[in-house]
Structure 1
């Protein structure tokens, strides 16, 4: 990839790409081991006032695939992960130099979470709060109940009924558990929509008190939900326009 010339080559041949297709393949090259959803692609490559439809993104991806096949890359350069999104072809991933795994310190992780406006909650096996980030009260409907030693379900009633799911995560039966697009209820200071993700460490690894803790991370999903709602609106409007055009065309044929 020549970022100055905004060109991509394969096996010595330049891949002919339009500007948006170049941006698209560069995005996948920058995230080689990630599955990118439509929402992530839109968020990275398009302005809020120019949101494309999913079919438009699929069209761009088909164009990229065809461009690489013209330079004898016979695999799909961008693979479809059904029901989730797209990822870079694994053959390209295998050619990348392996990077040594380095675990960041707790202080680094906390700084990262703060920079990304992500709050967290730590609960024990009895669902009692053990620790939390300073601004977590802005993410719960009952901040007055957000206290160490209190059942987490009091502050977050949306947790109630998911105890079995949390336990599966804690026991590593599931890698994680998440709920997205939870609407605001009682707390007017809470974001309009939030996502939460429950993640556990190695079940054989215990803290100093011998407990196995569950970490729940919260993020403001308001902008994501607005994107999704806008996409649905655009697709519905497009469908209605096409339906109207088809009816007018059919009527004109009858009149003729």
Structure 2
């Protein structure tokens, strides 16, 4: 009888303990894990692979064909018959990110910037040179544009490019200089407030001989594949060089018409 009573007491104690464990408040860790289990999405791993679209393959060989271009007089100025490449993806990665930041900083001040021209071919540079000194004093290969290290921008208000607003240009120029960019608005001849460039102290002669500027050592980890990116860009630049050189020889402005024309 005593053994039976003890057995009943033991079973009762276990039942009470089990009930208490089930109904006691969760600790923070247990509550978090429980919420994950309750709210997690259950994936159908059997059909996961079949849902991936394998048909889309990024065409790295012809990515340059999708770069934005700008036609003559788009922003109210005569800039020659050959289209202008106006795509930030055509720029050196470090310089590109500087221009992205410049656009962001200006936008925060209520200034909308349009990219008029980024990378520029030798043929396009030669066209400018032939249009007179008010356009450029640099022949093909002598401009930072040919190395993806220069860009021309313009402030736009109500869809109108404001080329002659000196107060606005000064705000934009100072913003660019604070980012470590060289501003053409400081030049006397030719005065070129739309122009920003960066070369890390490398001259155009060195650039022409294949020497590339180095990004600050503190940012090296931000651009771990910089060499490969620049090498790929060089292939894209070469492709554009070939297209516009042929177009210039044929006297046709059709070069780059496969690209997206910016409004």
Q: What TM-score results when the alignment is normalised by the length of structure 2?
A: 0.24
Larger Rg: 2
RCO higher in 1 or 2 (8 Å CA, sep ≥ 6)? 2
